[in-house]
Structure 1
């Protein structure tokens, strides 16, 4: 026999797909009416025009049918401003300590931070960030990307993300793409307008991305830093002293020379250098020979100077791999390289926590 208690018990396993909490826990289920095996109910969404309304509908309907209903009549409402304010307060309370510091920044939070940096632009730093994050997600890790390149944000465009983050009052829900949660200034800059801020505003927005974003449980947060050693890099070092860094360069000696400054800064700020990624290392011709378009040895020279090692050598993509998105196909050779890199990094970083 169907009862309200049985319906609620079934719906405890249905999550809001953005907040990743039970619709029952979020008090979204209202006005349950049962007549035999026919069930009527209302689901109250966090905001009007919720982009995942259809998924919530299907999940709720299926859960109730699995509980024994033969038909489900489902209507939708929207939380009142007071209810949204209470929800925001609850989310922030979960995600911050008593001092207001994001819970994820506590040394014992379990979140591993990887800052991806370079000496100069154009070396593929963001491509490395995206594909490493996706590789970790494909291996079952809970991963986020913070596009901290405030002036040169590119992650949403590179991943072809069209939707905007959901806002619940002052709390932002990251967009999920390829299993990775993404937050970027690119979501808030209309028509690709430039960001023209001085240092204090940069610090404020990086902090906002950490404090006012509902990241949910994460194993890894990758930060795509702007090239060089400017304000953002300094702020991130101060906010996240436990972060470890990957330095990206090309084989060209100038790129390697400039990248060494980012590595020296990492050491100065006490960040551990995970290693050097040499991107655009070579192009493989049709006959299998390697064409070193940018020369050779830059990655090794940088690793030697920083007393580190080259942890991945990424070739140019072949024409068939140059797709619309910067995420490489899981079956491609370059994706395999990133998969091995993800395995090595997770093994090393998780061993450090033991």
Structure 2
């Protein structure tokens, strides 16, 4: 039975993974209010062993208890059937054979189009590139994503470094994606959703793949994952200019490239190659981020361990802005090792302030002026 008053009280309750009302998703199966004030509620979980069952319990109980008429809550759970999960997936994610577009061929093998390549997409793909390893690109991707989420944006991260994945550890996500009828719902931490090979590769085993398998993995990260139209999709690019970089330029033709470098000439030279690669595949390089710019000692003095000026020199050469300089601090590295990004856990620190300033420039100053709309057609 459904009590209208109780149903409306529960309508604002969202599934913590799908970010939709449990009422609108059809998860609420019973909402009965007995004469003695007991609310008897039955909720259908998307899968057995739902990892966020306790969170759903807390949300449903709190919402029901806001009613003066409710004196107690009796909450039980059931699980959706295979057919119900399929219908839920269709509602949220569409059919694999859905709308065709110019990038239809780059979708999942079943024919799903990549949503971020479609004219109506409002998501800004940010490709964080470096050209070489060891410059802190993944740390910057993680903290920049957390900073954007902290500004109120919906944010997702694709860990495209298939061989050297690290984003799950840096974000502190401790569970794999939830699978609903072959639709992957990515785990979320610090307001950021993430997908990575790290959720699927056996621990301590190397990923040894040739190009076609890398290509396929990236397809599925973009098409089989329920991203829910984020405002920003950050892509942690692998070092170099190989297969993955080429594939992503095809998958995300509206991607914006942000190049990470350190101040010394060796890093700057390789970072220049990353920018050249982006130019060849017609992706705009929007800005430079300089990492490890200085270290502040206990004496309060700044030490430029890796030199100075490399980021600005590269930015001037490419005719694009230097978005910010990030100090070399142990806490940034330590936070990445234990899943506590410095932007989230030390918001008043110098590093966190620098990340927020870069995020603000990307979100506002570098916002594309071109409007993409499926209704606009060239006749």
- TM interval, shorter chain, is over 0.9
Distance 1:318 1:33, change over 3 A: closer
Q: What displacement does 1:349 show? A: 3.5
CA–CA separation in structure 1 for the residues paired with 2:44 and 2:228: 21
CA–CA separation in structure 1 for the residues paired with 2:250 and 2:333: 38
In structure 1, list runs of 5 or more residues that go unmatched: none
CA–CA separation in structure 2 for the residues paired with 1:3 and 1:191: 47
Q: Which of 31-40 and 119-128 deviates more?
A: 31-40
1:207 paired to 2:219? yes
Q: How does 1:129-168 map to 2 (within 5 A)?
A: 129-168=141-180
Give the corresponding residue for 1:286. Answer: 298
Q: Deviations over 1:167-188 (max 9, x none)?
A: 1121111111111111111111
1:189 paired to 2:201? yes
CA–CA separation in structure 2 for the residues paired with 1:318 and 1:57: 39
SS of match in other structure, 1:66: coil
Q: How does 1:205-244 map to 2 (within 5 A)?
A: 205-244=217-256
Contact 2:7 2:31 in 1 (8 A): no
CA–CA separation in structure 1 for the residues paired with 2:366 and 2:320: 15
Q: Deviations over 1:94-150 (max 9, x none)?
A: 898512313333233111110000111011000110111111111111111110111
CA–CA separation in structure 1 for the residues paired with 2:19 and 2:340: 27
SS of match in other structure, 1:7: helix
CA–CA separation in structure 2 for the residues paired with 1:343 and 1:43: 40
CA–CA separation in structure 2 for the residues paired with 1:192 and 1:353: 45
Q: Deviations over 1:273-303 (max 9, x none)?
A: 1211111111112222221111223212322
Q: Which of 8-17 and 339-348 deviates more?
A: 8-17
Q: Deviations over 1:288-340 (max 9, x none)?
A: 22211112232123223322232111110156984434611211100000011
Give the corresponding residue for 1:55. Answer: 55
SS of match in other structure, 2:203: helix
Give the corresponding residue for 2:357. Answer: 340
Q: How does 1:29-108 map to 2 (within 5 A)?
A: 29-36=28-35, 37-67=37-67, 68-93=69-94, 97-99=98-100, 100-108=112-120
Distance 1:306 1:214, change over 3 A: same
Give the corresponding residue for 1:327. Answer: 341
Give the corresponding residue for 2:24. Answer: 25
1:352 paired to 2:369? yes
SS of match in other structure, 1:280: coil
CA–CA separation in structure 2 for the residues paired with 1:96 and 1:183: 23
Distance 1:187 1:319, change over 3 A: closer
Contact 2:6 2:33 in 1 (8 A): no
Distance 1:111 1:28, change over 3 A: same
Paired positions, count: 353
Q: What displacement does 1:75 show? A: 0.7
SS of match in other structure, 1:192: coil
Distance 1:132 1:30, change over 3 A: same
CA–CA separation in structure 1 for the residues paired with 2:60 and 2:247: 43
Distance 1:144 1:242, change over 3 A: same
Q: Deviations over 1:228-271 (max 9, x none)?
A: 10111111111111110110111121111111111011111121
Q: Which of 24-33 and 164-173 deviates more?
A: 24-33
Root-mean-square deviation (Å): 2.0
TM-score (ref. length: structure 1): 0.94
TM-score (ref. length: structure 2): 0.88
CA–CA separation in structure 2 for the residues paired with 1:23 and 1:264: 48
